[in-house]
Amino acid sequence: MEKIFKGLIRINETKWELPATFKEGMLVKGVIYADESIIGSVDERSIEQLANVAMLKGIVKASLGMPDIHTGYGFPIGGVAAVSLDGVVSPGGVGYDINCGVRLLKTNLTKEEVIPGIKDLIEVLYKQIPAGVGSKGKIGFDRSDLDGIVCKGVNFAIEKGFGDKKDSEKIESNGFIKDVDPALISSRAYIRGLDQIGTLGSGNHFIEVQYVDDIFDETAAKKLGLFKGQVTIMIHCGSRGFGHQVCTDYLAIMEEMVKKYNMFIPDKELSSAPLDSKEAKNYLKAMNGAANYAWVNRQFLQYLAKEALTGFFGNIKDHLEIELVYDVSHNIAKFEDHIVDGKKMKLLVHRKGATRAFMKGHPDLPEIYKDTGQPVLIPGDMGRASFVLVGTEKAMEETFGSTCHGAGRILSRNKAIKEAKGRSIKKELEEKGVIVKSSGRETLAEEMPEAYKDISNVVEVVHKSGLSKKVAKLRPIGVIKG
């Protein structure tokens, strides 16, 4: 094990360690999963943030960084940390876009049926689905409806006819966390959230038409209902302004709690509160409400996408089958049971830009996926690919059942805009066979493929590390961005 740059020690081909001696105050080591090409792109600030997270009271085992790690607020994006019940909760370990996540739909359409009309299909989807900054939902709700969304999660949408009961079985946590108190969520969050339910938003959020380009595990793919050449729909979005406001409100509270409880934190962005405090419990109840909002938001987007597809392809397929494969969360903190040093412990697991990857047989998985492991959905950039994987036993042993969540940025949004100057990203993607529709040119520049690591490299790291197992590769043919 040779000590190399940035204080990291190489453990094996895909694992690097940041010793607890790297920075005064670290309670545990840091660990990054990366190969040589990826580790070279990790910025110094991300490593510093990884070390800072290792100072959080109650943190167990290690501060973890996935191969898509890059600088975030408080935690690095791609960061995972589990704390004991005598530890703390930090909103910086969840992020502003609470329960940002990915949902995958499968169809019985093939790429041969879809590609000839993909331009028209993308136009239809773009008109059907509100996207971009300031977009407003088409499904009208009032304040009491929003209470139902916050308290019931996806069950609210299903009760209103926006989906089937079986949908909830294919969503992480069944699309609902029960420990919520709407009184702990500000009126400002409600005002922002009311108009934005059922909207895609902007930035890296998208709806993508894809096809199954390759299958790595035939048995698992069959269980997930995937076959080569099949058209799928991927939805990536979160809790919009509602979750952003919840985070904003509680960050201000947490900064005061650091003083109240005389806590040491290495960075203001890691402001926290002890888990047994009223403030921590209040944040978690508000965060859970925002998580429920995000699941409902993706449920409504699924409904709108299905309506568009049914209208567009009704003349091709007598019975158009569009079904949910799974829905995963990327930004959330959850109480979970894990084995640490041979002992079962209840921990609060912060996942900030990381995906849950529970092994087969885990009691939290639906029956349909009990013998495959949890489906893991990893979106890439607009021009390359996305992947479907499943969770593993090794993830349970090493990373609290966690894996990567995407490609991970290597260019800031401002730098990407500068790099794209004078280019037509839309035309470049079209030449690669990807039709893109966006509410603004700047979004395409910010999200151009070169702004991200190569998703294939990132996924190969978690596959080789054993944190999740590759099942299928999905190629984009049409994308809607905000």
Tell me the CATH number at 42. Answer: 3.90.1860.10
The DSSP bridge partners found for residue 208 are: 234, 479
Residue 145 tokens, joined: 């409806």
CA angle 464, 466, 467 (to 5 degrees): 115
End-to-end Cα spacing for the chain: 46
Is 216 contained in some domain?
yes
* Residue whose pair of structure tokens reads 């984009």 in the numeric block: 476
- pLDDT (0 to 100) of residue 317: 66
Number of compact structural domains in the chain: 1
Q: Rounded distance, CA 351 to CA 330, Å?
A: 7
- 242 and 336 in contact (C-beta within 8 Å)? no
Pick out the chain residues at pLDDT < 50: 1-4
Residue 227 corresponds to which tokens in the numbers above?
A: 């076959």
Q: What pLDDT, on the 0 to 100 scale, is given for residue 3?
A: 39
Q: Is 179 domain-assigned?
A: yes
Taking the C-alpha atoms of residue 384 and residue 344, their distance in angstroms, rounded to an integer, is: 41
Q: Answer whether residue 91 is part of any domain.
A: no
CB 356 within 8 A of CB 404: no
Q: Is residue 279 assigned to a domain?
A: yes
Reduced 3-state DSSP string for 13-69: CCEEEECCCCCCCCCCEEEEECCHHHHCCCCHHHHHHHHHHCCCCCECCEEEEEEEE
From 236, 350, 405, 463, active-site residue: 405
Lookup: tokens for 383: 């021009």
Quickly count: other Cβ atoms within 10 Å of residue 57's Cβ: 18
Res 5: pLDDT? 55
CA–CA separation, 324 and 154 (whole Å)? 13
Residues 6 or more apart whose Cβ sits within 8 Å of residue 467: 33, 357, 392, 394, 395, 398, 399, 402, 403, 404
Closest C-alpha to 79, from 71, 87, 375, 284? 71
User: Are 102 and 340 in contact, with CB atoms under 8 Å apart?
Assistant: no
Amino acid in the structure at residue 253: I
Residue of 204, 202, 170 lying closest to 406 (CA atoms): 204
Assigned domain for 90 exists: no
131 part of a folded domain: yes
- The CA-atom distances, in angstroms, between 340 and each of 54, 84, 403 are 16, 10, 18
Query: Is 405 marked active-site?
Result: yes
Q: Considering the entire predicted model, what is its pTM?
A: 0.96
Domain that holds residue 194: 5-84+97-481
Dump pLDDT digits (tens) for 83-137: 999 999 999 999 999 999 999 999 999 999 999 999 999 999 999 998 877 677 7
- Residue 239 belongs to a domain: yes
